[in-house]
């Protein structure tokens, strides 16, 4: 072995020793409520395709039509070779969904975070993050060179302390900008940020707010626009971020906000400028999805999703002590409008990494696909089964999952 291979072998062994080694599992079917792995059918509780749109005929047809008209690839960055029509249609629909002046599409949510944060702030600025924001935001914050402060998860008191610190540090005009970043539904805990309180604080301290609606887009709000719209905060959040690859069933990411914000992104967001535009088919599929989530069918799918989550949660075997999403709900009570707002992400915290892997393996024996999520996706020692629900699950699917979970030995 040469030194390069030797180094890799040692590092891989270290990962295995800590039960943190990961492997890809080949899936031979489309992503939906049922998937095929190694010739066996599994009930799938791992996907973020919350409304089952990834295999919806409207999206598939839109993608095929886009391939027919615009081809398979985009040729270059949109600033270099011209900007294909499907992206403009997508951005118009995104702005309509989010009720913002404008929107800009990126090749992924990850790229959207890098682009937006990297363009807006630099080393003289301050970025304040919720402890549990997604890795793409943490990476973008680090790359920006800004001073990073982290507030305790969903703790507005702690956020205010960080804002006070920031305002003291802006006095001598050394540090100019303060950006707060949080999510609406958190990707691994499934709980929800106190956005109203956060908006009040950011106004009080003259900071800016970016909210990542990766998991709320398509599923919260009257028209599926997300939590910001549902709470009536659209005009008070500087940057709305979303992904097109979760409830919208396609792929890509976006930033929505003012026309000036989008003009600035086109000029300054490096992953937008220095990367080939996504495939036109992905944009066309996302556009079809956005139209769909705002339709009567979209509303029905959201209702079915909520019914599935509620079926799962009403099982007395679910231990709230292991479920951050349930704890959040019992604290927050019903929403002001009385509508249900249950999170499609329902983790069961197991703790130990090996125990989480064993639990997932037992579920696979029963042909249930539920991922064991470990460090670095979550903190060490907080490994979990991350169960996600979709509108494509039937009631029987939920019963099947609940039954299998009961047979697991998840002790403290």
Known catalytic membership, residue 19:
no
Give the residue, chosen from 89, 130, 191, 212, that forms a contact with ligand PLP under the rule CB under 6 A. 212
Give the residue, chosen from 33, 44, 93, 109, that forms a contact with ligand PLP under the rule CB under 6 A. 109
Count of residues of this chain found to bind ligand PLP when the rule CB under 6 A is applied = 13
Task: Pick the closer one to ligand PLP by CB: 175 or 254.
Answer: 254
Task: Pick the closer one to ligand PLP by CB: 213 or 230.
Answer: 213
Among 56, 215, 304, 393, the active-site one is 215
- Round to whole Å and give the CA distance between 396 and 35: 16
The closest of 211, 193, 209 to 201, measured between CA atoms, is 209
Known catalytic membership, residue 134:
yes
User: Does residue 116 contact residue 239 with C-beta atoms inside 8 Å?
Assistant: yes
Applying the rule CB under 6 A, the residues between 56 and 75 that interact with ligand PLP are none
In a 13 Å sphere around the CA of 201, the CA atoms on its Cβ side amount to 24
Known catalytic membership, residue 48:
yes
Known catalytic membership, residue 125:
no
Task: Pick the closer one to ligand PLP by CB: 146 or 211.
Answer: 211
For residue 202, how many other CB atoms are within 10 A of its CB?
21
Q: How far is the CB of 334 from ligand PLP (least distance, A)?
A: 25
Give the residue, chosen from 121, 136, 141, 373, that forms a contact with ligand PLP under the rule CB under 6 A. 136
Q: How far is the CB of 66 from ligand PLP (least distance, A)?
A: 19
Among 134, 147, 202, 304, the active-site one is 134
Known catalytic membership, residue 212:
yes
The closest of 194, 213, 127, 208 to 155, measured between CA atoms, is 194
Residues in CB range of 359: below 8 A, 6 or more apart: 350, 372, 385, 408, 410
Give the residue, chosen from 134, 162, 341, 393, that forms a contact with ligand PLP under the rule CB under 6 A. 134
Q: How far is the CB of 297 from ligand PLP (least distance, A)?
A: 24
Known catalytic membership, residue 74:
no
Q: How far is the CB of 6 from ligand PLP (least distance, A)?
A: 33
For residue 407, how many other CB atoms are within 10 A of its CB?
10
Note whether 187 binds ligand PLP by CB under 6 A. yes
- Round to whole Å and give the CA distance between 198 and 211: 10
CA dihedral 341, 346, 349, 355 (to 10 degrees): 180
Between the alpha carbon of residue 13 and those of residues 16, 25, 372, 373, 377, the distances in Å are: 5, 20, 20, 19, 19
Known catalytic membership, residue 343:
no
Give the residue, chosen from 47, 243, 275, 308, that forms a contact with ligand PLP under the rule CB under 6 A. 243
- Round to whole Å and give the CA distance between 208 and 205: 9
Task: Pick the closer one to ligand PLP by CB: 340 or 377.
Answer: 377
Of all residues in the shown chain, the one whose CB is closest to ligand PLP is 109
- Round to whole Å and give the CA distance between 370 and 374: 13
Note whether 108 binds ligand PLP by CB under 6 A. yes
Give the residue, chosen from 45, 70, 87, 110, that forms a contact with ligand PLP under the rule CB under 6 A. 110
- Round to whole Å and give the CA distance between 144 and 122: 5
User: Does residue 241 contact residue 211 with C-beta atoms inside 8 Å?
Assistant: yes
- Round to whole Å and give the CA distance between 337 and 342: 14
Note whether 183 binds ligand PLP by CB under 6 A. yes
- Round to whole Å and give the CA distance between 32 and 34: 5
Q: Which positions lie near ligand PLP, rule CB under 6 A? A: 108-110, 134, 136, 183, 187, 212, 214-215, 243, 245, 253
Active site residues: 48, 134, 183, 187, 212, 215, 246
């Amino acid at each position: 072995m040469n030194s390069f291979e030797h180094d890799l072998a040692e590092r891989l062994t270290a990962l295995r020793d800590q039960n943190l080694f990961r492997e890809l599992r080949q899936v031979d079917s489309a992503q939906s409520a049922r998937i095929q792995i190694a010739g066996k059918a599994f009930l799938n509780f791992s996907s973020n395709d919350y409304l089952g749109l990834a295999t919806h005929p409207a999206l598939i047809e839109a993608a095929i039509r886009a391939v027919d008209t615009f081809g398979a690839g985009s040729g270059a960055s949109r600033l270099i070779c011209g900007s294909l029509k499907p992206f403009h249609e997508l951005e118009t629909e995104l702005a309509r969904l989010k009720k913002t002046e404008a929107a800009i599409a990126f090749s992924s949510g990850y790229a959207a975070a890098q682009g937006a944060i990297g363009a807006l702030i630099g080393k003289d600025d301050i970025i304040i993050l919720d402890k549990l924001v997604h890795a793409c935001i943490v990476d973008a914050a680090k790359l920006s060179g800004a001073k990073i402060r982290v507030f305790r998860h969903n703790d507005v008191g702690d956020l205010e302390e960080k804002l006070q610190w920031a305002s003291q540090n802006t006095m001598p005009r050394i540090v100019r900008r303060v950006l707060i970043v949080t999510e609406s539904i958190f990707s691994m805990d499934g709980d929800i940020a106190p956005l109203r309180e956060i908006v009040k604080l950011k106004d009080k301290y003259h900071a800016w707010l970016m909210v990542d609606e990766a998991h709320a887009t398509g599923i919260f709000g009257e028209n599926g626009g997300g939590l910001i719209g549902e709470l009536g905060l659209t005009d008070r959040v500087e940057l709305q971020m979303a992904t097109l690859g979760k409830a919208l069933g396609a792929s890509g990411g976006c930033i929505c906000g003012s026309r000036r914000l989008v003009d600035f992104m086109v000029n300054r967001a490096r992953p937008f400028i220095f990367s080939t535009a996504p495939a036109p088919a992905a944009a066309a599929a996302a556009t079809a999805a956005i139209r769909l989530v705002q339709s009567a069918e979209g509303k029905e799918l959201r209702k079915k999703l909520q019914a599935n989550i509620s079926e799962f949660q009403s099982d007395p075997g679910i231990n709230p002590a292991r479920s951050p999403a349930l704890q959040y709900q019992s604290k927050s009570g019903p929403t002001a409008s009385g509508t249900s707002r249950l999170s499609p992400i329902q983790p069961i915290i197991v703790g130990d990494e090996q125990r989480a892997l064993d639990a997932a393996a037992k579920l696979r024996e029963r042909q249930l696909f539920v991922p064991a999520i470990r460090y670095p996706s979550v903190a060490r020692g907080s490994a979990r089964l991350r169960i996600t629900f979709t509108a494509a699950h039937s009631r029987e699917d939920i019963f099947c999952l609940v039954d299998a979970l009961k047979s697991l030995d998840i002790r403290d």
